[in-house]
Amino acid sequence: MNINLEIIGITVLWTFLFGYIIVASIDFGAGFFNAYGIFTKREHILTKIIQRYLSPVWEVTNVFLVFFFVGIVGFFPSTAFYYGTTLLVPVSIAIILLGIRGSYYAFETYGARSHKGYAFMYGLSGLLLPAALSIVLTISEGGFISMVDGHLILDYWLLFTSPLTWSIVVLSLSAVLYISAVFLTWYADQANDTPATELLRRYALIWALPTIITAGGIIYELRFHNKEHYEQILSFWWMFLISALLFIGTVWLLWKRKNYGVAFSLLIGQFAFAFYGYGMSHYPYLLYPHLTIYDSFTNEAMAISLIIAFIAGLALLIPSLYLLLRLFLFNKDYVSGKSEHEH
């Protein structure tokens, strides 16, 4: 593939989606572990560490998602027609879950005191959301949308009886819990909170296996669902191999209780290789077989102005994000709770 505006556009968007998947996974998983901790009476171990991380960054997570969907309509306006028409129900449900989650997070943190029922809802929504959002990836594989008299129809029956759908749902859930647990292990270790580190390390190891098994299973299922895509995936075998090696590296470090920071960066690498490998093998389709990045692309003038706006925006955002991370994520006093702040 040659480098052209279409490729630049989709790479930018794919990167935002990757960013969202990582930060949102940490957030969703943390909510689940928090609820699970309360349920199993281990809240004293986890709640503090989880809330310290989540408090300052919850809004930033949401923006990654907004970037992605605003960007995709900008670069590929036809996606508004294809995905907009067919995704009304799953995406509306996702918005409502995000709505309850985001707002109640603020209500809880800044307003009232903890409420158990709320913590469960928060944890549960963290599991339902990846399930609802991952449906989009399933649909993009094609076979679920048909054009009838100029109307696009999504076949829900076919969608919900397909093993592919459910494998992707399971992968999204286990990946969320795995990513989150690995990150929080590192975060708790930074805070010198040994009981929390140990518990989260155990969660990370528990969720490692289902993640890798379903990921492999999905590639296998694609062979029957979308042969063309399956063959393309095989041509990127080396990316998936690197991903698998990085996975082994993370698990090994966790097992040996060594270098949790390195373990987390290996995990980022693992998901990056798998995610970009998947993305590249999907090329050029945005929606099999209806839509490619070429026939849905915007005009050249808009593409260039979007890219310029994007570069200017990044020049503004990267220093700001760096400041945020330095103040909260990499500040030892803050992480370990030594410096107290009012909110």
Using CB under 8 A, list all residues that contact other proteins.
55-57, 59-60, 62-63, 65-67, 69-71, 73-75, 77-89, 91-93, 95-96, 98-100, 102-107, 110-112, 150-152, 298-299, 301-302, 305-306, 309-310, 313, 316-317, 320-321, 323-324, 327-328, 339, 341-343
Q: Can you tell me which residue has the tokens 């009232």?
A: 112
Please name which of 270, 227, 222, 268 lies closest in space to residue 245, comparing C-alpha atoms: 270
For other proteins, which is the closer residue by CB, 262 or 314?
314
Q: How far is CA 207 from the centre of its chain?
A: 16
Please name which of 29, 296, 9 lies closest in space to residue 187, comparing C-alpha atoms: 29
Q: Can you tell me which residue has the tokens 């966790």?
A: 254
Q: Is 154 helix (H, G, I), strand (E, B) or coil?
A: strand
Closest approach of other proteins to the CB of residue 156, in Å: 10
For other proteins, which is the closer residue by CB, 87 or 272?
87
For other proteins, which is the closer residue by CB, 3 or 148?
148
Closest approach of other proteins to the CB of residue 336, in Å: 15
Closest approach of other proteins to the CB of residue 105, in Å: 7
Q: Is 152 helix (H, G, I), strand (E, B) or coil?
A: strand
Closest approach of other proteins to the CB of residue 180, in Å: 20
Closest approach of other proteins to the CB of residue 144, in Å: 15
DSSP annotation string for 284-330: TEEETTTEETTTT---HHHHHHHHHHHHHHHHHHHHHHHHHIIIIIS
For other proteins, which is the closer residue by CB, 99 or 284?
99
Closest approach of other proteins to the CB of residue 288, in Å: 19
The pair of structure tokens assigned to 297 is 């692309």
For other proteins, which is the closer residue by CB, 41 or 342?
342
- Run of H or E residues at 251: helix 237-255
Please name which of 184, 137, 190, 126 lies closest in space to residue 162, comparing C-alpha atoms: 137
Closest approach of other proteins to the CB of residue 6, in Å: 14
Distance in angstroms (rounded) separating the CA atoms of residues 275 and 243: 9
Can you state the angle between helices 116-140 and 5-39, rounded to 10 degrees?
Answer: 150
Q: Are 267 and 179 contacting, i.e. CB atoms less than 8 angstroms apart?
A: yes
For other proteins, which is the closer residue by CB, 136 or 242?
136
For other proteins, which is the closer residue by CB, 124 or 242?
124
